[in-house]
Structure 1
Amino acid sequence: MPAVKTKRMPRAVREQQMLDAAVQTFGRRGYMAASMDEIAELAGVSKPLVYLYLNSKEDLFSACIRREAKALVDAVRAGARPDLPADRQLWSGLTAFFTHTARNPDGWSVLHLQARTHGEVFAGEVAAMRAEIVAFVTQLILAAARDAHRDPDLPAAEVAGLAEALVGAAESLADWANATPGVTARQAAATLMNFAWAGLGDLMHGRRWVPPADDEGDQQGSTSPVR
């Protein structure tokens, strides 16, 4: 009886399978503790095949960083619809950010914890992703200033500082949200909107940014008294 031939898996699919296993391993065990044997076993392939496809542990880690960074940036850009007012764009972008980091905690760990502490090459990959998000947030802040008709010409240094502060706060809040049971992406986004958009002054006076009731609808968020 002739042997049954199994269908060969396409290289691209096999490679993604290896990256999935690597992200999980790096995210949970850390770069130094993770082993290629462990990654190969989790991916269901031989260790020589991992080396054949991705060359080395360093190259594998870099590939994980690039994939996870692209996925995060794509999620934020897709979430912040350009047809919405500036505050709704920021709200939608933040919600997409926190949703993505909550659904992909290992990928977020690779980007925010592991890559930054294991060499300039890895840190540079993450810095490039972060710079893209900061540039995107900068444009949202400029759009908000134009919408407010108050100060459409904010100093460039001030806008840059605000964007850096907002992105830094989002990164820290994502760590907190992932480590705190019961915190949803929507709650995390609302917390940051109240801190960044309404401001501590308004919060102390009982006014906060109210998330839209239906994220798919056209209702706009607003700053209003707490009921």
Structure 2
Amino acid sequence: MPRAVREQQMLDAAVAVFSRRGYHAAAMDEIAEQAGVSKPMLYFYLGSKEELFAACIRREADRLTEAIATAVSVESSADRQLWEGLRAFFVFVAEHRDSWVVLYQQARAQGESIAREVSRARRVIIDNVADLVRASGGGRVRGGEPEAVAHALVGAADALSEWALGYPDEPPERSARRVMDLMWVGLERRAQGERYEP
């Protein structure tokens, strides 16, 4: 079996075990057994438990950002691109629940090197969303506003995904529409000069 295929099997097993047990309770023995390899082989290919966890974070973050990038058509309007990206995000979470648990829940409790991996992936997504906000504003969204809105939008999607884990029957399209209704409709009104006045 090619090395790359074997590594993917080990990472699949590790993601499943980390998701189910959490980082601290996950045992390298269990990961090796689930992957169908020996524990020494697991160490040889992917290193220590911390290195293995970092490799899982890297792979799952890359898979998420790739899924979003692949789904978004550069020929679409800004609102359509955002819809396509949000839908891809929620589909990924629905289809890769273990990945999302590791990325969103487990990674938060780990050290600085893990936090850097998660921040890198999050930064790519936020930058892309900020570009869409700029494009949608027709020049009316200026300064640091696109980045602030992008942070809020990505945070809303993260939080809604966390909620959706408890509702497996929630269709990804409905979650994407909830965020679009909440954020995009508000952005269009802001672009027209409307503001909340307390």
> When the two structures are superposed, what TM-score results if normalisation uses the length of structure 2?
0.92
Alignment of 1:17-32 (within 5 A): 17-32=9-24
Q: 2:176 aligns with which of 189, 194, 198?
A: 189
Indicate whether 1:37 and 2:24 are aligned. no
Letter of the structure 2 residue corresponding to residue 170 of structure 1:
A
Extract unaligned runs of 5+ from structure 1: 1-8, 147-151, 203-227
- Residue 103 of structure 2 corresponds to 111
Provide the secondary structure at the position in 2 that maps to 1:34. coil
Which residue does the alignment assign to 1:177?
Answer: 164
SS in 2 for 1:92: helix
Residues 81-123 of structure 1 deviation map (CA, whole Å, 9 limit, x = unaligned): 1111111111011000000111001111111111111111111
1: CA distance, partners of 2:182 / 2:141: 20
Shift of 1:160: 1.0
> Secondary structure of the equivalent of 1:155?
coil
Letter in 2 for 1:101: V
Q: Structure 2: where are the runs of 5+ without partners?
A: 190-198
Alignment of 1:76-115 (within 5 A): 76-115=68-107
Shift of 1:153: 4.4
Secondary structure class of the residue paired with 1:69: helix
What does 1:1-227 correspond to in 2, within 5 Å? 9-146=1-138, 152-199=139-186
Q: How many residues align?
A: 188
CA distance in 2, matches of 1:85, 1:29: 42
TM-score, normalised relative to structure 1: 0.80
Q: Aligned partners of 1:40 and 1:54: how far apart in 2?
A: 11
CA distance in 2, matches of 1:181, 1:66: 25
Contact 2:94/2:168 (<8 A) preserved: no
For residue 194 of structure 2, what is the aligned residue in structure 1? none
Q: After superposition, what is the alpha-carbon deviation per residue over 1:121-160, rounded to whole angstroms, capped at 9, x for unaligned? A: 11111011100100000001011112xxxxx142221111
Letter in 2 for 1:77: A
Distance 2:123 2:168 in 1: 30
User: Which one scores higher on RCO, CA 8 angstroms, separation ≥ 6?
Assistant: 2
CA distance in 2, matches of 1:28, 1:168: 24
Q: Is the 8 A contact 2:133 2:141 kept in 1?
A: no
Greater per-residue helix proportion: 2
RMSD: 1.3
Q: 1:198 to 1:153 in 2, by over 3 A?
A: closer
Q: Distance in 2 between matches of 1:156 and 1:166?
A: 17
Q: Give the Cα separation in 1 of the matches to 2:102 and 2:115.
A: 11
Letter in 1 for 2:172: A
